[in-house]
Chains A and B, each alone.
Chain A
Amino acid sequence: MFDGFIQWLGNLSLMFSSAKWASLGDHLGLIFSGLGITIVASVLALALALVLGIVFGVLSASNWKPLRAVARVYVEFFQNTPLMLQVVFLGFGLPIVWPQFNAVPVLMVGVIGVGIYHGAYISEAVRAGIQSISKGQLEASLSQGMSYVQAMRHVVIPQALTVVLPPLTNQAVNLIKNTSVLLYIGAFDLMYQAKSIQAANYNPGPVYLVAMVLYFCLCYPLAFLAKRLEDRAEAAQGGGQA
């Protein structure tokens, strides 16, 4: 048991030897190109998720039952099945069934998968935002002579945003982290580059550590912003009737 631990520690220190760090230094260019792809993929996927989230969020807050049902099916299906399964299907199943899908670039396949998945979560945030505003507010604004657009612009949307923005920002963090599944379909993102550098040089210690730090630098500012927004929303709720 003790010998095993000593050997484990020995292996660990070998993994972080200066030679292993040096072999990482030779591939920094790849790491940063991967970081660039991860950022591009995150931005595109977030754009898709926002569009889907707003459309299905509005649908699930609508008064007409069939529309609500469509939105429920979308949200429940994607929230209750793994992103990995969806990406495996898009990357390896769908191209067999529908050969034309092979023409879609790998990066876009990943963007579609991650975007649709997080769209379901954003849709729930949008629905909660819409439902948090009572109908009376719109009616009151209209009775004060505001146009529908003015009422939306000055009364309804600013309040809805206080509710929607915190979960939305949290979803953006999760989305960035989840773009790491792109590695499985070979999209040259940060996770993919880290894994392939590691496989070529057997230096998992330095490579994965650097990748962790880079992902953390992408996600932490957003997570911090999410917390600030949450605090603000809580304060707005608590002192609402001033």
Chain B
Amino acid sequence: MNAAVNTTTIGFMLSRPWFWASLLDGLKITLYISGVSILLAFVFGIVVGVARYSRAPVISWIATAYIEFIRNIPLILLMLFCFLVGQMKDVAAAILALTVFTTAVIAEVVRGGLNSVPKGQWEAARSQGMSYLQILRHIVLPQSVTKMIPPIVSQFVTAIKDSSFALLLGVVELTARGNILKSLFSGVGQILMIYAVIALFYFSINFAISLVARALQKRLSAGRGSIG
């Protein structure tokens, strides 16, 4: 009785090393799924966005159909589809679905940014003998990147949050750890604390990214002239 440890206190839970190890393992999987998806989607998003913006009929049409379809179906459905119909491993299916989805969103941002550059600039550059790619690379992209970066960065936050849908495929990422840890502790305070700690993990990463996005936006819009 005298040496008995009260296992239902928050302090007991927070002083278990395996409690933190479990959450950090989950965080690793969350960051792996979202990180790989973000990198791939950033590249593909620019390609698809330029394709959507281009005047080439078939290419532009395919890009439009892709963007419109993917943006109007739930990501959860896309993940389950990749997992079962695509016969993929759970983490791979989550990465593929998140990449496909984020690519569509970023492509739309890229198109919007490119559209913001007046058409006259194309004509002016073309009259100077520049090629399509040269104009894109030296004239249009430098001017429109200011508009694209903040929404793209905030899409990174969305990707980190949405990677939690992978728990539906059985991936034990950060959110799914809550379900496991919850069954190991019985204290009311402990259960609240588990969710609070997980929320804090997500919040600190995403809030930091949001702050970077805001700072970027300020710097880019302040130094407009110096970007080209």
Chain A interface residues (CB < 8 Å from chain B): 8, 11-12, 15, 76-77, 79-85, 88-89, 92-93, 96-97, 173, 177-178, 180-181, 183-184, 191, 194-195, 198, 204-205, 208, 211-212, 215-216, 219-220, 223
Contacts and interface: CB of A to CB of B under 8 A. Distances in A.
Contacts of A212: 73, 77, 81
A184 B178 CA distance: 14
Contacts of B206: 79-81
Interface in B45-96: 68-69, 71-77, 80-81, 84-85, 87
B147 interface: no
A15 B85 contact: yes
A216 B73 contact: yes
Q: Top 8 closest A-B pairs, CB basis?
A: A204-B84, A84-B164, A219-B72, A80-B206, A180-B74, A82-B161, A82-B164, A177-B74
Given A11-B87, A198-B84, A204-B85, A92 B182 contact: yes
26 contacts: A8-B87, A76-B207, A82-B161, A82-B162, A83-B161, A84-B165, A84-B175, A85-B175, A85-B195, A88-B195, A89-B178, A93-B178, A93-B182, A93-B191, A97-B188, A177-B73, A180-B77, A183-B168, A191-B76, A198-B84, A204-B80, A204-B81, A204-B85, A208-B77, A212-B73, A215-B73
B148 interface: no
A112 B206 CA distance: 23
Contact of A88 (B73, B178, B192): B178
Given A81-B203, A85-B175, A93 B72 contact: no
Contact of B203 (A77, A89, A178, A219): A77
B168 A219 contact: no
Contact of B192 (A92, A97, A180, A194): A97
Q: Is the interface of B mostly helix, strand, loop or mixed?
A: helix
B72 A89 contact: no
Interface in B151-166: 157, 160-162, 164-165
A204 B93 CA distance: 14
A4 to B, nearest CB: 10
A84 B202 CA distance: 12
Given A92-B182, A96-B182, A96-B188, A84 B80 contact: no
Given A173-B72, A180-B76, 19 more contacts: A77-B203, A79-B210, A80-B202, A81-B202, A81-B206, A82-B202, A83-B161, A85-B175, A85-B178, A85-B199, A89-B195, A93-B182, A177-B74, A191-B76, A212-B77, A212-B81, A215-B73, A216-B69, A223-B68
Contacts of A215: 72-74, 77
B155 to A, nearest CB: 12
